[in-house]
Structure 1
Amino acid sequence: MDLTILYRGPLASCDYDCPYCPFAKRRDSREALRADRAALERFTAWAREQSGDRLSVLFTPWGEGLTRSWYRRALTELSRLPHIERVAIQTNLSCRTDWTAEADRDTLALWCTYHPGQTPRDRFLAKCRELAARRVRHSVGIVGLPGHLDQARRLRAELPEQVYLWVNAAEGHTYTDAEAADWTALDPLFGYSRHPHRSAGLPCRTGASVISVDGDGTVRRCHFVRTELGNLYDGSYRAALRPRACPLAVCDCHIGYVHLESLPLYDVFAGGVLERIPATLTHRSLRPTPP
């Protein structure tokens, strides 16, 4: 079985205090950190034993995972397993990068977000250069707030052309056509993020070949649909895997709508769906169909 897993444990602490994030500068207690570590180690052990399946894993913590040794260790270990096709994580890239030397760089990937005001751009770019020198697959992105536009332009100018710069539409922000054009000049795929996607009744890969797993092993089709499909560790989820339509009116998050079969994003990001890396630079000529 080929299965993509979106894992989100109880970790909710972050070293940044972005005003648009509800988990900014939140501190987990020692007990919460121990629980998160135990949950991740349990998941890693489970994944290690699934040698009869082909797994791809994206870690989507509410907080920043790579500042924690157990996330770096899990990514390294999973990357070196032959039945793991891809293992990736969303990160603000505030951690060091030398740990990646122990990982299989053909399997490991990072989804990196630059947060202006939280770290100097030069420091962030230095981390990106380190990743490139270490041959670590990575994408780089930014939240499309008006105050971020100049920083985004500078970021695009200073990143290697082969590094994809994505832009996430800011939650609750409405873009004029002129504003959208500015962001589209940086990320030709911004149109997919600009508006929520109508999804009710449309086929989606979540619940069939893609699942969401929390720290207790509860399996759901995705992070945004709360209906439980079973538990990862007792195997009860397997009987529930099947094609199904989306029950929600809209889907407005990339880690959700990328799996909608009504969108061409599996082709656009072929080979890089989890880390948000387009298949080729020909994506620059692609323009989404207006919703």
Structure 2
Amino acid sequence: MDLTILYRGPLASCDYDCPYCPFAKRRDSREQLRADREALERFAAWATAAGEAGDRLKILFTPWGEGLVRSWYRRTLVELSRLSHVERVAIQTNLSCRTEWTAEADPESLALWCTYHPGQTPYDRFLAKCRDLAGRGVRFSVGVVGLPGHLADARRLRADLPERVYLWVNAADGHTYTDEEAGVWTDLDPLFPYSRHPHRSAGLPCRTGASVVSVDGDGTVRRCHFVKAELGNLYDGSFRAALRPRACPLAVCDCHIGYVHLESLPLYDVFAGGVLERIPAGFPVTTA
């Protein structure tokens, strides 16, 4: 079975305090961190053994907090990247961690989805880490939240990053863009129009629940992070019988990790080979 897994364990702590994030500067207790590590190790053991069952996996870690400052996330990414049945293992990160650990991973399967948060880290420090990743041959994308105060930094990033690194822009939650404002962001990210408005999804076919699933720290499987109905459990295998094509039950989908899987959108072609790490095929792209 070819399966894409979006894994989100209990980790909710972050070292940044972005005003647009509900988990800013939240601290997990020692017990919560231990529980997260144990949950991740359990998932990694399942993913390692999945090859024996004939599964081919693509895995994206989408923690509420920052995972790469924790040794168990770095270790898991390295170990999973070396498995022949894991085609891609990626993580969303603010890149506040060191980057030397990536040298231990297989660059053919490891990927990073990096977000720059102006005001949370010195610009030169973030850029240096991006350049280090590029020098090591690591697959990664870089993005910003499309707030007016971030525009100058986003333009600077686009100018300073290697041309082959995709710079994406997320529409800010609750922010309405005029056509002129959207055009400014589209000049930086030709795919920004996909993020500008929520996508109608009710009744439309989506790959989630069939070839894409969400898994939490207890192993509960759902079709995606945004639909709460349970499909079963990863560890007892009960989820497998529930996998089938199905329509989206929600009115709209407004998050990239959700709507990228809608069959009504062409994004599997746009991001062919880089769906999880948000890297378009044949980047740089010229049109949305």
Q: Is TM more than 0.5 here?
A: yes
RMSD in angstroms over aligned alpha carbons? 0.5
CA displacement, residues 163-211 of structure 1 (integer Å, 9 cap, x when unaligned): 0000000000000001000000000000000000000000000000000
Structure 1 partner of 2:255 = 253
Quote the Cα distance in structure 2 between the aligned partners of 1:202 and 1:59: 26
How far the C-alpha of 1:281 sits from its partner, in A, is 2.5
The runs of at least 4 consecutive aligned structure 1 residues that moved more than 6 Å come to none
Question: 1:61 aligned to 44, 63, 67, which one?
Answer: 63
Structure 1 alignment gaps of length 5 or more: none
**Offset, 1:282:** 5.4
The code of the aligned residue for 2:241 comes to: A
Question: Is residue 16–residue 120 contact of structure 2 (8 Å, CA) maintained in 1?
Answer: yes
8 Å contact from structure 2 (residues 166, 284) kept in 1? no
| Distance of aligned partners of 1:41 and 1:19 in 2 relative to their CA distance in 1, 3 Å threshold | same
- In structure 2, what is the equivalent of residue 145 of structure 1? 147
Name the residue aligned to 1:45: 45
Secondary structure of 1:46's counterpart equals helix
TM-score by length of 1: 0.98
Structure 1 residue matching 2:170: 3-state secondary structure: strand
Q: For the residues of structure 2 that align with 1:134 and 1:108, how far apart are their CA atoms?
A: 12
User: Which residue matches 2:27?
Assistant: 27
Q: d(CA) in 1 for partners of 2:201 and 2:82?
A: 36
Where in structure 2 are the equivalents of 1:68-87 lying within 5 Å?
A: 68-87=70-89
Work out the CA distance in 2 between the residues paired with 1:119 and 1:186: 21
Q: Does structure 1 retain, via aligned residues, the 8 Å contact 2:81–2:105?
A: yes
| Structure 2 equivalent of residue 177 of structure 1 | 179
CA distance in 1, matches of 2:82, 2:157: 32
SS in 1 for 2:214: strand
Deviations 1:124-177 (A, max 9, x none): 000001101111000000000010011100110101111000000000000000
Q: Residues 97-143 of structure 1: CA distance to partner in whole angstroms, max 9, x if unpaired? A: 01111100100000000000001111100000110111100000000
- Give per-residue Cα distances to partners, 1:213-251, cap 9 Å, x unaligned: 000000000000000000000000000000000000000
3-state SS of paired residue (1:142): strand
Q: Hey, what's the Cα distance between the residues in 1 that align with 2:164 and 2:135?
A: 13
Once residues 233 and 18 of structure 2 are traced to their aligned partners in structure 1, the CA distance between those partners, rounded to angstroms, is 34
CA distance in 2 between partners of 1:281 and 1:209 (Å): 25
Residue aligned with 2:285, SS:
helix
Q: What is the match of residue 101 of structure 1?
A: 103
Q: TM-score, normalised by structure 2?
A: 0.99
Q: Deviation string for 1:33-74 (max 9, x for gaps)?
A: 000000000000000001111000000000000000000000
What does residue range 228-239 of structure 1 map to in structure 2 within 5 Å? 228-239=230-241
Once residues 78 and 39 of structure 1 are traced to their aligned partners in structure 2, the CA distance between those partners, rounded to angstroms, is 15
